[in-house]
Amino acid sequence: MRSDTVKKGAERTAHRALLKATGVTDEDMEKPFIGIANAYNDIVPGHMILDKLTKAVREGICAAGGTPFEFGVIGICDGIAMGHDGMKYALASRELIADTIEAMVEAHRFDGLVVVGACDKIIPGMLMAMLRLNIPSIAVTGGPMLAERVGNRVVTIKTAFEAAGEYKANKISKQELKLYEDYCAAYCGSCQGLYTANSMQLLTETLGLSLPYCSTSPCGSSRKLRLAKISGMRVMELVREEIKPSDFITEESFKNAITMDMLVGGSTNTVLHLPAIAKEAGIKLSLDLFDDISRKTPHIVAIDPASELTIADLDESGGVPMLFKKAKDYFSNEMTVSGKRIYDIAEEAFVRGRDIIAEPSNPLHREGGIAILRGNLAEKGSVVKQAAVREDMLKFEGSAKVYDSEQEALKAILGGEVEEGDVVVIRYMGPKGAPGMPEMLLPTAAISGMGISRVALITDGRFSGATRGPCIGHVAPEAMVGGTIALVEEGDIISIDIPARKLELNVSNDELKDRRERWKPKKREIKGYLSRYAKLVSGADEGAVFI
């Protein structure tokens, strides 16, 4: 066992003494040491229940003959960080999470690992660590938040963000605004819709790194507790059978994950996270692969922000196993951490209530949820959640309104400066530029809430998974490195053609050359971790990984 390095032999007397200081017995020393990376905290709704799940994992490990050791992992709530400088740290925290788990596991020579996490950057960082370490491992994801109703309306956290715009436009009263504040996030769990957090939970299960139904079982449910306990027991089987992630995670596993993303219309942020996770396994995922799979994969379920349905409705419909079953022809039959292959899991799938999953032969959309756009404004690519774009906005041309920060753009939107037919450009928001590639929900939510319908947004930053409409993010190269987005001027005409995968700035090459010669990178004052991050991070087209 790996842990013998810290507990066997006379030369490890002091090591055993330190372990005994934590309550480890002689009998415990003979068992496999299992690390539990626990992202519990009491500021993130998706994390506030993880202490209970970790307790269940510990019980499972102990019941199956292991010795558990729990350690903490940071977790940032994107919603609370949204719209201010704190958002610069959200994506950047992904690398910290992976690195700290690596450090804890390697320093203490754990034989196996269980990661217990939820939400946007935490799950990707944990999966990166699992594949990097390549020891017997399993993931337990915290599960989705349940939704409440206000009147006849199902409300989610997206509703709360959009309510600010509705209030500014005098569409709702102060009392109604307070009602949304009180009921749009009424439970523990990852925010209710198919935003980044729940997208990544679905993809964790699809990759085969968590047990069937783990991703959609609601936070706080007894099923989630049982799955956590079973996961603790399962990691012991993995240790005894010496099964590591590299034994079953393949390039086809990642293609399955991308396929799932397209079937459900998941968050655009998965285009950042899946390549970063794959890189740890020595697998390269290109933007072209995402688009190729999107072109041939139907969109068969619409979940908030594309509808009022939530992840709880998907769970009722059979979750990931039922998606495997209905779209079996689109998946490769890969092995999973459960010991079952995808087709075996599909055979056991069942619907326990309303079925919201369409048949692939009669899809909601012929293509997948995400599209990759290219053109002179995004030579290395950009990303749009086409499943959440209205039919009449798939092709759009408008006049540029240009802002060098989210705060400038939000002030202009709420101040009435943005009008129908505009294309809002928010730049210097990329991995190096912000730095940290902040996620922007406030500007898009404000536009939606104020009832402005024919407006597009383009950024070298990111959009929240709760964003809907023609919102194009991840523009690469970013403004900070001299990408064309840095050269856009007020009033320029921008053309968007999602079916043709085109994003063009209608300015002549000669004019762009002249602007480039006059361009200088934007100066900014950064320090600490963000300063190091900006020096190390790659472009969005490569997953914003360290290079």
Catalytic positions are 464
Find the helix or strand (DSSP H, E) in which 425 lies.
Answer: strand 422-426
Sheet holding 33-38, edge to edge: 67-72, 33-38, 112-117, 137-141
| Peptide linkage before 435 cis (omega within 30 of 0) | yes
Place of tokens 């603790």: 232
Distance (Å, rounded) from C-alpha 320 to C-alpha 339? 16
Cα distances from 232 to residues 108, 144, 490, 521, in angstroms, run 19, 21, 56, 50
Place of tokens 């055979």: 347
Place of tokens 């590299």: 246
Distance (Å, rounded) from C-alpha 169 to C-alpha 151? 20
- Report the alpha-carbon angle 262-122-312, nearest 5: 55
Amino acid code (one letter) for 404: D
CA nearest neighbour of 129 among 113, 143, 107: 113
Beta bridge partners of 395: 497
Q: Which two tokens stand for residue 193?
A: 């819709």
Distance (Å, rounded) from C-alpha 59 to C-alpha 343? 30
Distance (Å, rounded) from C-alpha 280 to C-alpha 502? 31
Distance (Å, rounded) from C-alpha 210 to C-alpha 204? 6
- Three-state helix/strand/coil letters over 393-412: HCEEEEEEEEECCHHHHHHH
Radius of gyration of the chain (CA): 23
Start-end of H helices in 157-280: 157-168, 174-183, 196-207, 222-241, 251-264, 270-280
Residues contacting 135, CB < 8 A, separation 6+: 2, 105, 110, 111, 112, 113, 244
Q: Which two tokens stand for residue 375?
A: 């053109």
Distance (Å, rounded) from C-alpha 253 to C-alpha 334? 6
Q: Which two tokens stand for residue 68?
A: 């558990």
Helix then strand then coil, % of the chain, to nearest 5 = 45, 15, 40
Cβ–Cβ < 8 Å for 123, 101 = no
Burial of 295 (0-12, 13-18, 19+ CB in 10 A): middle
Distance (Å, rounded) from C-alpha 247 to C-alpha 501? 37
Distance (Å, rounded) from C-alpha 248 to C-alpha 449? 45
CA nearest neighbour of 70 among 98, 36, 42, 39: 36
